[in-house]
Amino acid sequence: MELKRMETCIKSVTIQMPVLIPNLLNDHRELSLAHLALGFISMGYVWQEGQHAPAQVLPKALAVPYWLISRRLGLPPILTYADSVLSNWKLRDPTGNMDLIFSFPGGESCRGFFIVSLLVELAASSGIGALEVMHAMKSSDVAGIQNGLVKVTQSLKKMKETFKLMHSKFKLNLSPWRDNPMLPNGLLYEGVSTEPMFLSGGSAAQSSAIQCFDALLCIQHEDETGKDKMFPGKAVIYSFFLKVFFLDYMPPAHCQLIETLSARPSLRDLILSCSSSDLCQAYNSCVSAMVDLRSYHLYAVQKYIIGPGNHTMGCPLRGVGTMLNDKGTGGSNLMGFLKGVCNTTKKALISEVWPV
């Protein structure tokens, strides 16, 4: 009863809050911090009463500044992966140990989920070899391409090992308002639009690092059946799926990098034309490391997210997500998507067919 009164009080206070116009926020850091804060507050507001009574309207005190800040950042007004992971850290002490800026109730299991995701991104940063590969391709420097691929492979292996640090079972309160049976009509942003919005939530698939590696390695993700349940009867390639659920939720500069990598001449075609066994092996090692990372991600999602649902002790949402156990936090059909990208990644492997 006491918790119920507290939730009612929070909702009342939020509705009565003044509408703040964020025109005094200037640089990217200030805007990103504001977007992060509003994302956590909005998620908490929508799901504070659990799956049976989600808020249908985001009050204008939250909706208006959230919308204005989102427009300036080129991000949607919902908690994204860029918010909850990439922008959600601070140094805890001078030795370089990191901590979160914001977290949800749920103790160490919730905190660990975000921290491990952040450490995986940190491991991906050593994959700067991707840029070395691009530069080496311009001059047809086979040794440079090979060295760059080795660095990317090492980075992918490090990402997988870091991913293994995740041990807690926890269903995060990141359920979106797109393809969500609990919010079939979306969420109305008061003072912003007269029509509700349908937005996907944060998802690890919004990691620009992974998609940069995909673009570098020329890994093309297509729906293996040629059809997508959202568009029955139509052939839909996964690039559209990626854009709708993931690319549109990344910082614009990250999307631009992915597009730049995708637009350059095909690394895979260059390797096929070089007839170099060593270069082919370096490429295949890189693709295999990507397959291993995605296979472990598939295992981890099944074990830590879909398997337990959100029945884990301490989950603050009291059932939010039990109807979404086959979906990701982004609202996608998670297991089908992950299995699909894992299979299409394997298809990028090159079989050596050159004469000795």
| Residue 329, C-beta contacts closer than 8 angstroms, at least 6 positions apart | 172, 174, 175, 176, 201, 202, 203
How many Å apart are CA 224 and CA 341, to the nearest integer?
9
Annotated binding-site ranges: 297
Split at pLDDT 50, 70, 90, the class of 341 is confident
- The reported pLDDT for the residue numbered 227 is 44
Q: Average model confidence (pLDDT) for the chain?
A: 80
- What's the mean pLDDT in 63-78? 96
- The reported pLDDT for the residue numbered 292 is 96
- The reported pLDDT for the residue numbered 169 is 58
- The reported pLDDT for the residue numbered 220 is 80
pLDDT digits (tens, 9 = 90+) for 18-41: 888 899 998 999 999 999 999 999
- What's the mean pLDDT in 3-16? 58
| Pairing of the two strands 188-189 and 57-58 | parallel
Question: Are 123 and 158 spatial neighbours (Cβ–Cβ below 8 Å)?
Answer: yes
**What is the secondary structure of 63-95 as a DSSP string?**
HHHHHHHHHHHT--SS--HIIIIISS-EESSTT
* 323: pLDDT strictly greater than 60: no
- The reported pLDDT for the residue numbered 32 is 96
- The reported pLDDT for the residue numbered 14 is 67
How many Å apart are CA 242 and CA 238, to the nearest integer?
6
- The reported pLDDT for the residue numbered 315 is 33
pTM recorded for the entire structure: 0.80
How many Å apart are CA 175 and CA 320, to the nearest integer?
8
Instruction: Give me the residues paired with residue 142 across strands.
Output: none
Annotated binding-site ranges for heme b: 297
- The reported pLDDT for the residue numbered 330 is 44
How many Å apart are CA 73 and CA 76, to the nearest integer?
9
- What's the mean pLDDT in 180-206? 90
* 182: pLDDT strictly greater than 80: yes
- 266: which DSSP letter? P
Q: Is domain 22-309+327-348 classified as CATH 1.20.58.480?
A: yes
Split at pLDDT 50, 70, 90, the class of 228 is very low
Torsion 294-300-303-308 (CA) sign? negative
- The reported pLDDT for the residue numbered 237 is 40
Q: Which of 150-164, 167-181, 199-213, 219-233 has the highest mean pLDDT?
A: 150-164
- What's the mean pLDDT in 126-135? 82
Give φ, ψ of 313 to 5 degrees.
Answer: -55, 130
